[in-house]
Structure 1
Amino acid sequence: MPTIALLTLSNLFMTTAWYWHLKGGMARPLPQVIAISWGIALFEYCLAVPANRLGYASGWSAGQLKVVQEAIALLVFGGFLVAVLGEPLTWRHAGAFACLMGAVAFLFAGR
């Protein structure tokens, strides 16, 4: 589904924009980090806006789009946490993901 693919790609860019500097970029001046992050986030917006328009035009509600985006964001962040930042995933991460999946299920129930 194009909406999910675009939301996944947009989340890859946004997670990078928000967290790239935590690994090896902490010595950079904050204004520089903000400027670089804004440049990365531009690509996120170029993907998220069409994803939401496509999803909405396909009959998804704004609430469904938001909850799906949050679930994707948690998946992407989990991968980034392990692969880039080198932090372990714990049972709390799994619990948070399960709660978000429950929210997705509630919003799509009966559709």
Structure 2
Amino acid sequence: MSAVVISPERLSEVRRLATTLADRVLDAQIAGRPVPADQAGALAKAAGLLHDYGVDWPPLLTQALHGLVPDADAAAVEPEPELALPNADLDGLSRFFAGFRKGAPKS
């Protein structure tokens, strides 16, 4: 099976849509509203796809992802009483983003 090649135009569209969704997620976080698990998952998938193709992440995407995944150091000191994603696999998201925290592409 051959690897799928995505055109630069489609990657640009993924980047644009990820920025739009990240803006919505950040708005919900600022307003104290829960972020739907499907939106968090979509951001994670977009981040993974952009990373795989070497495309710089939009700054809003990085900011939204950091807001979705609790900081392990901060959680060890002071656990959050209520998480914004009650149905999300936060452990899975934390493991997924662990590799990106130090090596995320800069835009």
TM-score, with structure 2 as normaliser: 0.36
TM-score, with structure 1 as normaliser: 0.35
Q: Which has the larger radius of gyration?
A: 1
